[in-house]
Amino acid sequence: MKFFEPEIQEYIASDSPPEVLIVDDSSVIRRAIANRLQIGGLRVKQAADGKQALSQIYAAPPDLVLLDIVMPGMDGMEVLKIVRQSLSKLQLPVILVTSRTSTRELVRGLDEGANDYITKPVDFDLLWARLSNQIMQKKAAEYMNAVKNKLETEVRQRTRELHENNKILQQEIHEKRLIEKKLQRQANYDVLTGLPNRNLATDRLEQTLIKAKREKLKPSVVFVDLDNFKYVNDTLGHAAGDDLLKEAAIRLIDCVRESDTVARLGGDEFLLILDDINNQSGNPRELDLKIIGERIIRRFSRSFLLEGQEVNISPSIGFAVYPKDGKDEVALMRHADAAMYRAKNNGKNTFCFYSPEMTAQAKLRMDVETQLHHALERNEFSLVYQPIVEAASGEIVKAEVLLRWNNEMLGMITPDVFIPVAEETGQIVEIGAWVIKTACHQVKHWRNGGWDEMCITVNVSARQFHQDSNLVEAVTTALKTNVLTADALQLELTEGILMRENQYNVAIMQALETLGIKLLVDDFGTGYASLSYLQKYNFDTLKIDYGYIKNILINQQDARLVKAIIAMANSLGLDVVSEGVETREQLDFLIKAHCKYIQGYYFSPPVPAKAFEVLFQKLNSTRATPGSQLLLISSSSHS
């Protein structure tokens, strides 16, 4: 049997040979046909009438039925009709065998569902061709069906697997989402405080501004920077610093409404985004912000408990209001930052509103910070010396060393501008060491030249009193390399250093005392140092702040205070220097009040070493060693 498609042929070959049911009432015909089909390799069954045919078909359907139309009893047409009720043309092909040639009969047969027909007497070649064709179609359909079923099973199986995989996948997706969420938190939130970070804060500000533009609102941006945070980190350690930041975050959140944003920008810098509260309170914006500024300062006035110590940390706050102080987030943030710096310059623990002139100031500060990095290596620093004169004799006994910075880009920058920056960046440590070294070198020259008792006082910042600032080492090295005794150098400390008393600065003060270095309290009266502090740390001298001296002839209260300070200091055995003395009248007042030492423009402003030598000769002429010697050393002096 020839079929066309090789796959189908293969399919048939794998099966038993097709079976044909021959239905005919004539046994002669049945046998004749059966013979020929068996020779062709087919299996054959026979039925003598319609009933038999049906029972055989229902017992085990053959692959094809050759059905005689004319039979006694149930004729072929009837059989076909019944068969077709349950089996389609493809399920069971039926070829009608008829001696009638009436086309009407054949058409009816085909209508009833016969697949084909053949006329008697049977032309076996034709029968074979028609039969092959039908069986092939049936087998092809079977094959397709089998393939389809197999495919369907496979698909079902695959679907089940997919379903399983999908479940696993869903789980994985869920886990991935959790990780993503965590990563996103890390990308958007500050790990230490849990506050939004700069990323998210900028985003929120952007959103706030979009809304503000639409609804004509006036949100504001607030910069909060903790004063002297570095000090906590340096002296109490990073764990204490972290605790402080966490607590600061809580206090800040406490100061604003829930809808406002409190973010940490990094370090000790916080950003607040305040929605417009104008509409609710009916206050002008500035008044509302003033209330918030005061509230923050009040919250921070309670001391922080860090590592078992009570520490006072104040905030400096800057406000910028949309749209007056900036139309986009960049401008608003920059301007709030500038306002915050102004608050710092105004003495910290306060708040400021942005005003346009601050931008220039902020730019200068930035420039100062950048330029300061190269100042030492570019040799841009120099020292000037201001005489400290003994009131009674009018002779110079000491000189205060003051730092000068001449930058190639910015020109002369005063210490009031660059020292705070250097303190903040920590560069003051290195610069301070340079000042001590250079000043010691200078005083050595002066001593070599014959001013045996010449002594210099050097200013030191709070920052230099930190555990890892190596102040003691800087002093020791400077004295040693210049072969100087400790009485050649005094250090001027501000009250701030005393106020922030802790194990480190106490240890440093004791180490300096052991070296024999005398300590002087600078700007006395501006802070809160009491005279008892001065005794506790063996201070030698106190310097009354310029702010009091300025007013002694104008303000009765200042005059009384200065007199009292001098009297008390004298009774405690402390030397007193009055600084900023500019007039003869001030000098006379101070002499009358028994102030022992005077410093100020009245005698001289701070001057370079050479000019100082000239001055020294003039004032100390009665006591000084020969001037020729002084001129000799001046050529090698440093200024």
Binding site for ligand C2E (CB under 6 A): 386, 402-403, 414-416, 419, 432, 435, 459-461, 492, 522-523, 546, 579-582, 600-601, 606
Residue from 24, 225, 275, 492 touching Ca ion (CB under 5 A): that is 492
Which residue from 569, 586, 591, 590 is spatially nearest to 521, judged by alpha carbons?
569
CB of 604 to Ca ion, least distance (A): 15
What, of Ca ion, ligand C2E, none, does residue 222 touch, CB below 5 to 8 Å by kind? none
Which of the listed partners (ligand C2E, Ca ion, none) does 601 bind, with a CB threshold of 5 to 8 Å by partner kind? ligand C2E
525 binds, among Ca ion, ligand C2E, none (CB under 5 to 8 A by kind): none
Shortest distance (Å) from residue 579 CB to Ca ion: 5
Instruction: Tell which residue, 148, 135, 70, 145, has the closest CA to residue 102.
Output: 70
Nearest CB to ligand C2E, comparing residues 243 and 522:
522
Contact 318, 343 (CB under 8 A): yes
Q: How far is CA 264 from CA 98, 256, 270, 341, 511, in A?
A: 101, 15, 4, 17, 39
Long-range (24+ apart) CB contacts under 8 A made by 469-474 are 469/429, 469/432, 470/429, 470/433, 471/432, 471/508, 471/512, 472/508, 472/511, 472/512, 472/515, 474/432, 474/433, 474/436, 474/437
Minimum distance of ligand C2E from residue 602's CB (angstroms)? 7
Query: Do β-strands 396-407 and 411-413 pair in parallel, antiparallel, or remain unpaired?
Result: antiparallel
What's the token pair of residue 211?
């809304």
Q: How many chain residues touch Ca ion (CB under 5 A)? A: 4
Nearer to Ca ion, 312 or 526 (CB): 526
Q: By C-beta, is 61 or 420 nearer to ligand C2E?
A: 420
Minimum Å gap between C-beta 606 and ligand C2E is 5
Distance, CA of 597 to CA of 448 (rounded, Å): 24
Task: Please choose which of Ca ion, ligand C2E, none residue 403 contacts, taking the beta carbon within 5 to 8 angstroms, the exact cut-off set by kind.
Answer: ligand C2E
**In the bound complex, what is the minimum distance in angstroms from residue 386's beta carbon to ligand C2E?**
6
**275 vs 523 by CB, closer to ligand C2E:** 523
Contact partner at residue 460 from Ca ion, ligand C2E, none, CB < 5 to 8 Å by partner kind:
ligand C2E
**Residues 6 or more apart from 122 whose CB is under 8 A from it?**
29, 32, 33, 97
**Minimum distance from residue 515 beta carbon to Ca ion (Å):** 20
Q: Which does 93 bind (CB under 5 to 8 A by kind): ligand C2E, Ca ion, none?
A: none
Pick 18 or 432: Cβ nearer ligand C2E? 432
Q: What is the DSSP letter of 552?
A: T
Candidates 46, 316, 459, 461: give the one binding Ca ion (CB under 5 A): 459
At which residue do the structure tokens 């024999």 appear? 516
User: Residue 580's binding partner, choosing from ligand C2E, Ca ion, none, with beta-carbon cut-off 5 to 8 A by kind?
Assistant: ligand C2E
Look at the block and give the residue holding tokens 């008697």: 120
Q: Nearest distance from residue 523's CB to Ca ion, in Å?
A: 4
**Comparing C-alpha atoms, which of 227, 226, 231 is closest to residue 502?**
231
* Binding of Ca ion by 190 (CB under 5 A): no
The first and second tokens of residue 311, run together, are 């520490």
Q: Which distant-in-sequence residues (6+ apart) come within 8 Å of 293 by Cβ?
A: 317, 319, 351
Q: Which is nearer to Ca ion, 492 or 613 (CB)?
A: 492
Tell me the CA distances in angstroms from 223 to 161, 257, 323, one per residue in order: 58, 16, 17
Give DSSP secondary structure letters for 201-212.
Answer: HHHHHHHHHHHH
- At its nearest, how many Å lie between ligand C2E and the CB of residue 256? 36
Name the DSSP letter for residue 282.
Answer: -
User: For residues 338 and 340, what is the distance between their CA atoms, to the nearest angstrom?
Assistant: 5
Site for Ca ion in 493-552 (CB under 5 A): 522-523
Closest to Ca ion by CB, 226 vs 460, is 460
Task: Give min distance, CB of 373 to ligand C2E, in A.
Answer: 18
Helices (DSSP H) in 21-121: which residue ranges? 27-39, 50-59, 76-86, 103-112
Q: Which is nearer to ligand C2E, 294 or 380 (CB)?
A: 380
Residue closer to Ca ion (CB basis): 242 or 540: 540
Paired with 396 in beta bridges are 389
Name beta bridge partners: 315: 226
Instruction: Using the minimum distance from each CB to ligand C2E, give the nearer residue, 109 or 387.
Output: 387
SS3 529: coil
Q: How far is the CB of 197 from ligand C2E (least distance, A)?
A: 34
Using CB distances below 5 to 8 A depending on partner kind, what does residue 415 bind out of ligand C2E, Ca ion, none? ligand C2E
Binding stretches for Ca ion (CB under 5 A): 459, 492, 522-523
